[in-house]
Structure 1
């Protein structure tokens, strides 16, 4: 017998699909028109109100800083994205499940070390951690890997050494502080986390071709990370040129305020971890401890990570894990900066 509402369920999508298709076809064009209009309005406003107060020296300084950050960071960004996509596409998630100890407390630091030797950016770490959970890895261990992989992998460490030449202490402090934060966050979730606070993704029904997965992952990560790099470079150049030096010096001269300001700035700028060291190095008015806080917080807590974690693991998870990670990152980086920098 046919259910009385079966035809409604079958015919409803068919009746609405033509208009939905027309809307889908027209949306990109409409969005592009509005985007061009908004950009044009911004250009007009800048030309009318901002340009008259800018000097040629300020414009040249801004362009020099922006180009320098992008040129220095781009090779590390491309290399990191390529390796991250290769790991995502060619290394089965069950490999990590076999490598991790069954004991949760022991699996957490092992997962942190695994993140230290495997290159990957923030965009890749969230889906990889979700895949590990879906295949039976303890959430605490997967979350430790999520935090450690983009923060202390070899590409990030080399980029940090290049951005801070002659300052090996900054490289060592970033590595130690970030690894400690990842392990402490994993242990805290193991001890206090509840199953109802996290939504574990379902395992995939089937896998696409490896090379196709590699191309998709590399294209996705490069587009997103490259965009965030440009935004970060713009913000850093603007801070260096547009913000009055007296304001920067006033904040930079207060130890606790400078640490909090750069920690919050790392969250808002959402720079890829392969490139954030170059931005931090350009903030010359701030102390090494404040720069360390920027480097530790950024790969673990930023706007794109918060959105991705909410989408993968649920809002209840993000509301608890994000503040936990931020507080640990600020506290540990402040301690490492006071002791070693």
Structure 2
């Protein structure tokens, strides 16, 4: 009977994570496709500040204005880097956006009954970690941090992806039409013709087809990783004894790393995890902050997604730097407050 209960809990947890994350993954994929198809590289390069520190803060500001979940922001960050956004700005945006956007802040305020303390601390800790990673990446070239996407590597060396059968884009951001000798037509060509965009000119239709093609490819790449990561997180939730979790609540030395591990294992959405953290009412505030700050920056599904997009060296930086910063800040805060709950 207990085994059946665990299987039932595993299934519920896995499906819950997948269904919770899929809408945000879809939105992130669509945003990624739109950026690739409609945003000229030269315009992006003119918009972003040139200085290393200024570019990193620009990424942070962009994250504050972008309501998104960590599930859909990884490929969007990759597209921004391919469009000429400095790696420091793109990675600061990727780490910070899921937490410091208005939707996540509002969710945290609601979860903690209107008390702004946790929301403020959460934004501060995540911003510090995002700036640290952004500063590191700001001194690197995008090509040294990104892995080529299998089957979609650009042969032209321009640093961004092309639709199958699509020629290289001009400086104004519009792509040349492919000739029959260039290969098969874009995958979504027939769909673009069937949609209202068919009333637009050929260049507009081709851009719409390009956006849909890139969005679908990104969505499928990430969806399979999301499902696997959700299953691992569900197994963690279903088979780790509750007694182990409860043993941590009265010991700050166990509570902070324990809640960090729990955040990584549960892989919750950044716009829903505040309600889970608030449910640990007997845990110290510093431990709950560790859970809220680390989870959106580092969890099982994110690591799997990063491995699809970034080089192993950058994956290690993305994993260890935020974890170290969250641990140090939360321990200091816990000692300063005497482990208050």
TM-score, L = length of structure 2: 0.65
Q: Choose which of 250, 263, 270 in structure 1 pairs with 2:260.
A: 263
- Which residue matches 1:277? 274
SS in 1 for 2:314: helix
**Is residue 156 of structure 2 the alignment partner of residue 198 of structure 1?**
no
Q: Structure 2 CA distance, aligned partners of 1:218 and 1:190?
A: 27
> Which of 254, 265, 269 is the matching residue for 2:251?
254
Higher helix share: 1
For 1:233 and 1:282, the matched residues in 2 are separated by 18
**Residues 181-237 of structure 1: CA distance to partner in whole angstroms, max 9, x if unpaired?**
11122123335x587852365411138444566677678878976997798688668
2:184 is matched with none
Q: Shift of residue 163 of structure 1?
A: 2.1
TM-align CA RMSD: 3.9
**1:313 to 2:310 alignment:** yes
Q: Count matched residues.
A: 278
Please name the residue that 2:294 is paired with: 297
1:80·1:155 contact (CA, 8 Å) conserved in 2? no
1:179 and 2:123 are equivalent in the alignment = no
Q: CA deviation at 1:150?
A: 1.9
Q: What TM-score do the two structures reach when normalised by structure 1?
A: 0.65
Does the CA-based 8 Å contact 1:266-1:297 persist in structure 2?
yes
Tell me, in whole angstroms, the C-alpha distance in 2 between the residues paired with 1:78 and 1:306: 17
The alpha-carbon distance between structure 1 residues 148 and 114, as it changes in their structure 2 partners (threshold 3 A), is: same
Pair 253,228 (structure 1): closer, same or farther in 2 beyond 3 Å: same
Q: Could you say which residue in structure 1 is the equivalent of 2:326?
A: 329
Which of 84, 89, 92 matches 1:136? 84
Q: CA deviation at 1:294?
A: 0.9
Which ranges of structure 2 fall in alignment gaps of 5 or more residues?
149-158, 167-208
Distance of 1:175 and 1:306 partners within structure 2: 21
The equivalent position to 2:62 in structure 1, one of 114, 121, 127, is: 114
Cα shift at 1:168: 1.7
Offset at 1:147? 0.7
Q: Which moved more, 1:102-111 or 1:149-158?
A: 149-158
How far the C-alpha of 1:275 sits from its partner, in A, is 2.1
Residues 305 and 225 of structure 1, relative CA distance in 2, 3 Å threshold:
closer
Q: C-alpha deviations, 1:245-278, integer Å up to 9, x for none?
A: xx54542222132111111221222222222222
Aligned to 1:136, what secondary structure does the other structure show? coil
1:334–1:75 distance in 2 versus 1, CA, 3 Å = farther
Task: Tell me the CA shift for residue 175 of structure 1.
Answer: 1.5
Question: In the alignment, what sits opposite 2:107?
Answer: 159
Larger Cα-atom Rg: 1
Greater CA deviation, 253-262 or 218-227?
218-227
Q: Residue 238 of structure 1: CA displacement?
A: 7.3
Say whether residues 1:150 and 2:150 are aligned partners. Answer: no
Deviations 1:106-162 (A, max 9, x none): 110110111121022223222112112222222122111111122322222222222
**1:33-72 alignment to 2 at 5 Å?**
47=1, 50=2
2:136: which partner in 1? 188
Assess if the C-alpha contact under 8 Å between 2:234 and 2:266 holds in 1.
no
Moved more, 318-327 or 90-99: 90-99
